[in-house]
Structure 1
Amino acid sequence: MERKIIRRMSPNHFNGRGGETPIMIVNHITEGAVQGAVSWLCNPASKASAHFVVARNGDIYQLVDIRNGSWCNGTAIYSKGKYYYKNSTNSIVRGKAVNANLFTVSIEHEGYSYKEGRGALTEEQYQATLWLHRHIINEVKSKYHHDIVVDREHIIGHYEVAPKEKPNCPGPLFPWDRLMKDLQNKGGGAMDNASRVKFDFNNKKFTVDGKLIDGHNYVQARELLEKLGYTVGWDNALREIKIK
């Protein structure tokens, strides 16, 4: 299922990533309604932004190009204050003497970390962020030739980057286990195994069914070859595939 991304581009970002590659996804909670969050993150006075914001109704907003660093996961390299990178509980952040904004992709989720009835993601919101995580993984692969590892060291919460300043972001009800299982194709979810893959080969455009496994999108060779106009058969005597 393809989803529309609503673009509300923010002026608050780094131009580029200072030579870094996005290797992690960091999840946040807005602690407020989506329109207010998007407005604030696009306001120069806020000095803050995120790459994406996922609304409770499943809408996805993009505020910063994935090739730029957003201002959402900043760590301080030379100061030992609240945002000092060595305070991080994540071994990757703690081991990189670089502003974490330069090697992360940030997702804000509309909601509240503790507010009764608003702390958990809605089902529409969950399916949207599941799709978005996969979209980010594919975009990073396409643009940087890097596979974001699908585990809890590389897909994390803001509280793991800045535990002293943001100890409750994105909150105790964030569905980490379900998200990891669905991204690894070990559990349920509306987007469990199939992911349509688009091809443009010699001006011939088509799509085939794929399967996302550990951040890699795989397609069946037979379907792909037949879409390209080849005939695929099996020679039982020789025990080999014949392609004509």
Structure 2
Amino acid sequence: MDVGLTVGESIERTERTIEGFDLAELSIGEGSDPNEIDADRLESILADADADLCVHLPFEQVVATPVPELNDAIVDYLARLLEWAGAADARKAVLHGTARNPHDTDLRPLFADQLDAIGTAAADAGVELVVENVGHQKRGLPLSVLGDLADETGTAVCFDIGHAYMEDGDEGVDRFLSEYGDLVSHLHVHDARSRGDTHLPLGAGEIDYGVVRKYPVIRRYRD
């Protein structure tokens, strides 16, 4: 099992906190230029800690809109970031599963096309794309829709347990893992409360991790 931590955009935070972990998940801020990141320093920090790199693509960037020209630009933008991630030897890139209007069923085929194109760009860069469930957010696709589209496009999933709980409780976590657990190749693990608190330490919230632990995909990360 590889255990990592999210470090935001900060190399300094990475250096302070990475010891003892297997990977760091470095965020790329929307509109920031990853070429301004001190890649040599990042590589040295990770090498000293014997840790790998994952990246989180910009949180606010939607994947699909009704406008073809914007969709093309989104793919070009993310492909540029993925090229940098590949050059930095990142193993995975996390992409939020979002659309301009996630409840517009006409956008779902466009989302699939976008996801397929972004996945191709990731593969060309030598990075595994993993799409993250954020259905509790305004622009996040619902859990089952995200699962279906990830399955349709052959895209791996970053399953965020806390986000799934915020969207549909323990039942939503259970349902997603029972139907789409074989797609999960990356986990975000934190606790949450139904009143809106999230990204809490495990045990500080309401998630029933007994539900989570029964699935082989989760046991693979624990054993």
**TM-score, scaled relative to structure 2:** 0.30
Greater relative contact order, per chain length (Cα 8 Å cut-off, separation 6+): 1
What TM-score do you get using the length of structure 1 for normalisation?
Answer: 0.29
Q: Which has the larger radius of gyration?
A: 1
More strand by share: 1
More helix by share: 2
